[in-house]
Amino acid sequence: MNAIYFDHNATTRPDPEVVAAMTKCLLEGWGNPSSSHARGVQAKAALNQARAQVAALLGAKPAEIVFTSGASESNHAAIIGALGAQEGKRHIVTSAVEDPSTLRLLAQLEGQGVRVTYLEVDAQGQLDAARIEAALTPQTALLSLMWANNETGVLFPVAEAAAIASARGVLFHTDAVQAIGKVDVDLQRVPVDLLSASAHKLHGPPGVGALFVRKALALRPLIHGHQERNRRGGSENLAGIVGFGVAAEQLAANWRAAVPAMRTLRERFEQGLLQLPMAQVNAAPAPRLCNTSNFHVAGLHSEVLLHHLDQHGVCASSGSACTAGGTEPSHVLTAMGQGAQTALAAVRLSFGRDNTVAEVDHVLALLTRIVASGGGVLAEAA
């Protein structure tokens, strides 16, 4: 069997249409959107089209989309911008299981006198909305919660959180990187103020993202300059943005049809996995993304398991791509009350629209052999 890619929460393969649009832009549409001559006008039109495509995917207005270098920058821009726009408010509420790009920024801000409340999750990784309500104060500048966890796939009560924040006059930011294209992210329906998105998680290119900023909300820019209506300085990555737009348009048309198939793959994998001795699905039975399965086999370190999978052509992960290569236990699983050994054993498979039942069955057979060997050297399959 050919190589099997089960790491779609880390990144996705760009659509051929995305690559074609970016190539055409680089060869024929390489003007600067800020220029007033014909080539600049052409570039501006391409930029505006992509902005409209991304806005349509999210249920937003084009003017509410600010292009960035990726979700990490979007998270920084949202958090720092919200703080800077509200003099006297120096309190942020978040969860203990956010992406490292958020948690490390907040740790830095704590060193500058900002007070941060980290909401606890339960043993399944779920967040109780009552904890959100209790944590907000008149000094709270921002509530920042991910829509779906990148490691476990657990869905947070974003609509409820947004309503609570709105009622209390607190800005609400959500990192929706993993949720877009797997659940209904409709900003007409959910009163989110700020939302982070990333193209490369949506079959678009790396190095480009977006920050949704609800109309009439004024943020202090993270990067100063006249571009993006004075909200994000620096010449736009036009080819990347064009690719993002095409990916967004493709996703808007197709994601609902892809969800049931991805859910079927996850359920088939987990049913087979649980037949193995000492195997357990982390975060079940919490509501989770259709494509994400985080599991561990007691006594089998994730690095050993991932090495075997990689040697047999299977791409998987031990958690967040931002921390890949590290040896620290997953902060997500430890926040769920798991011990260090369990957290170090955790492996994430994240399925995509092009994966098949045959691939899932192949990986289950491979896992059976790995577990039977105790993580030792495997004999080649016949």
CATH of the domain at 159: 3.40.640.10
**Side chain identity, residue 32:** N
**CB-based contact 269:333 (threshold 8 Å):** no
105-145 pLDDT, tens digit per residue, is: 999 999 999 999 999 999 999 999 999 999 999 999 999 99
Whether residues 302 and 232 share a domain: the answer is no
**CB-based contact 324:281 (threshold 8 Å):** no
Q: Could you tell me if residue 377 is inside a domain?
A: no
Whether residues 364 and 215 share a domain: the answer is no
How many structural domains compose the chain?
A: 2
Segment (H or E) for 360: helix 357-372
Q: Could you tell me if residue 176 is inside a domain?
A: yes
CA dihedral 338, 344, 345, 347 (to 10 degrees): 100
Range of the domain at 220: 16-251
Whether residues 106 and 204 share a domain: the answer is yes
Whether residues 358 and 209 share a domain: the answer is no
Q: Is the pLDDT of residue 353 over 60?
A: yes
Catalytic pick among 25, 290, 315, 322? 322
User: Domain end: 251, 271, 306, which one?
Assistant: 251
pLDDT band at residue 380, thresholds of 50, 70 and 90? Answer: very low
Contacts of 377 (CB under 8 A, 6+ apart): none
Whether residues 97 and 206 share a domain: the answer is yes
The CATH number linked to 296 is 3.90.1150.10
Whether residues 166 and 37 share a domain: the answer is yes
How far, in Å, are 123, 188, 206 from residue 12 at the CA level? 29, 27, 9
d(CA 214, CA 172): 10
Give the model's pLDDT for residue 345: 94
Q: Could you tell me if residue 381 is inside a domain?
A: no
52-92 pLDDT, tens digit per residue, is: 999 999 999 999 999 999 999 999 999 999 999 998 999 99
Instruction: Please name which of 70, 338, 16, 35 lies closest in space to residue 208, comparing C-alpha atoms.
Output: 70
Segment (H or E) for 117: strand 115-119
190-216 pLDDT, tens digit per residue, is: 999 999 999 999 999 999 999 999 998
Whether residues 173 and 119 share a domain: the answer is yes
Whether residues 271 and 185 share a domain: the answer is no
Q: Is the peptide bond before 206 cis (omega within 30 degrees of 0)?
A: no
User: Domain end: 188, 222, 251, which one?
Assistant: 251
Q: Could you tell me if residue 378 is inside a domain?
A: no
Whether residues 268 and 290 share a domain: the answer is yes
d(CA 83, CA 78): 9
Which residue would you say has higher pLDDT here, 322 or 32? 32
Reading the block at residue 320, the tokens are: 């967040």
The share of the chain scoring above pLDDT 70, in percent, equals: 96
Q: Could you tell me if residue 158 is inside a domain?
A: yes
Phi, psi of 17 (to 5 degrees): -65, -35
d(CA 342, CA 334): 9
Length of the chain: 382
Q: Is the pLDDT of residue 327 over 80?
A: no
25 as an active site residue: the answer is: no
Q: Could you tell me if residue 330 is inside a domain?
A: yes
Coil, helix or strand at residue 242: helix
Whether residues 238 and 327 share a domain: the answer is no
Whether residues 141 and 38 share a domain: the answer is yes
Q: Could you tell me if residue 54 is inside a domain?
A: yes
User: Domain end: 224, 251, 278, which one?
Assistant: 251
**CB-based contact 124:284 (threshold 8 Å):** yes
Q: Could you tell me if residue 143 is inside a domain?
A: yes
Whether residues 162 and 28 share a domain: the answer is yes
